[in-house]
């Protein structure tokens, strides 16, 4: 369970970017540049091969390590895959599951994503489950049905005792890395309310209220505060802007300011 002050979460998804040297430099700049590390939770999710390098840079800091994917088995003949046990062995605390790029470019199904969620949570990782509709689905008025399916199938069989290790990221596919289509903070707010409503039906109002829900999709220094200031948005999941230390740190600062504003209000 969280404390009364809801710290903002700022998660960097580096996707398939950086070299080993860049990963080291970027994580170093981020660790050194966070103004008030205890007022925000920051997570870096580098590509698999760079987890140990980034993990070394994060050791002793308050910045956590996360992975972008996981395979839902502890070990075995699964060529090219990475298990939850391996991620834990490298000091990963978080894992992103069901990112839209894995759903739409790599063909992951809701039921496969569900296996990952259940296995990663049971193994002791904190899971960030990504959900979100495509532009076509939004235009056809299917957003609610899509989110309903992704959440109900994605979270099937998740045991109540691991819910404190689960969070959900709303990432509308049409707003990810897209200069043309941006979700407005109001659209993000409205969809977050919908997600919490669904979660409330599935896991009860108390857990649904406690759960961290992120927004992701072209978040940058210029709009981060507007998203983070919306009721129901506890954090942001950042792709492109997380690859530049100054931009990412500006977003982290927006998170710190929002957490501090919350502290003033309570």
Site string for ligand 13P, 44-73 (x = CB under 6 A): ------------------------------
Footprint on residues 81-100 left by ligand 13P (CB under 6 A): 99
Q: Closer to ligand 13P by CB, 203 or 234: give it.
A: 234
- Asked if 260 is an active-site residue, the reply is no
Q: Measured between alpha carbons, how far is 199 from 194 in angstroms, rounded to an integer?
A: 9
Closest by Cα among 116, 214, 108 to 169: 214
Identity of the residue, 191 or 203, whose beta carbon is nearer to ligand 13P in the bound complex: 191
Question: Which one is catalytic: 101, 108, 133, 171?
Answer: 171
Instruction: Tell me the closest approach of the beta carbon of residue 173 to ligand 13P, in angstroms.
Output: 9
User: Least distance in Å: CB of 36 to ligand 13P?
Assistant: 23
When binding is defined by CB under 6 A, the residue of 34, 95, 176, 257 that contacts ligand 13P is 176
Regarding 239 and contact with ligand 13P (CB under 6 A), the answer is yes
Q: Work out which of 168, 238, 254, 257 binds ligand 13P, going by CB under 6 A.
A: 238
* Residue 185 near ligand 13P by CB under 6 A: no
Angle between helices 20-33 and 51-58 (to 10 degrees): 20
Q: How many residues bind ligand 13P (CB under 6 A)?
A: 14
Burial of 15 (0-12, 13-18, 19+ CB in 10 A): middle
Sketch the per residue contact string, 191 through 220, with ligand 13P: x for CB under 6 A, - otherwise.
Answer: -------------------------xxxx-
Single out the segment in contact with ligand 13P by CB under 6 A; choices: 20-28, 69-77, 110-118, 236-244: 236-244
Residues that bind ligand 13P (CB under 6 A): 13, 99, 171, 176-177, 216-219, 237-241
Catalytic residues: 99, 171
């Amino acid at each position: 369970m969280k404390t009364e002050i809801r710290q903002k979460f700022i998660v960097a998804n580096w996707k398939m970017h950086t070299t080993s040297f860049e990963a080291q430099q970027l994580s170093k700049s981020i660790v050194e540049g966070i103004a008030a590390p205890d007022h925000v939770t920051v997570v870096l999710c580098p590509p698999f091969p760079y987890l140990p390098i980034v993990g070394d840079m994060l050791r002793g800091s308050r910045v956590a390590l996360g992975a972008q994917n996981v395979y839902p088995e502890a070990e075995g003949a699964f060529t090219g895959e990475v298990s939850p046990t391996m991620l834990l062995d490298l000091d990963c605390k978080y894992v992103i599951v069901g990112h839209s790029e894995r759903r739409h470019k790599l063909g992951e199904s809701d039921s496969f994503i569900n296996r990952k969620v259940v296995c990663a949570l049971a193994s002791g990782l904190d899971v960030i489950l990504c959900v979100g509709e495509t532009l076509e689905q939004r235009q056809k008025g299917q957003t609610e049905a899509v989110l309903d399916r992704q959440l109900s199938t994605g979270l099937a069989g998740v045991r109540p005792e691991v819910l404190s290790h689960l969070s959900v990221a709303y990432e509308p596919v049409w707003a990810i890395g897209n200069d043309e289509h941006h979700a407005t903070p109001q659209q993000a707010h409205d969809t977050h309310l919908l997600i919490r409503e669904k979660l409330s039906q599935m896991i009860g109002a108390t857990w649904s209220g406690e759960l961290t829900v992120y927004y992701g999709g072209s978040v940058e220094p210029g709009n981060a505060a507007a998203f983070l200031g919306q009721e129901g948005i506890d954090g942001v999941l950042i792709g492109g802007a997380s690859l530049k230390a100054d931009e990412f740190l500006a977003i982290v600062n927006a998170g710190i300011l929002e957490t501090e504003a919350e502290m003033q209000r309570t």
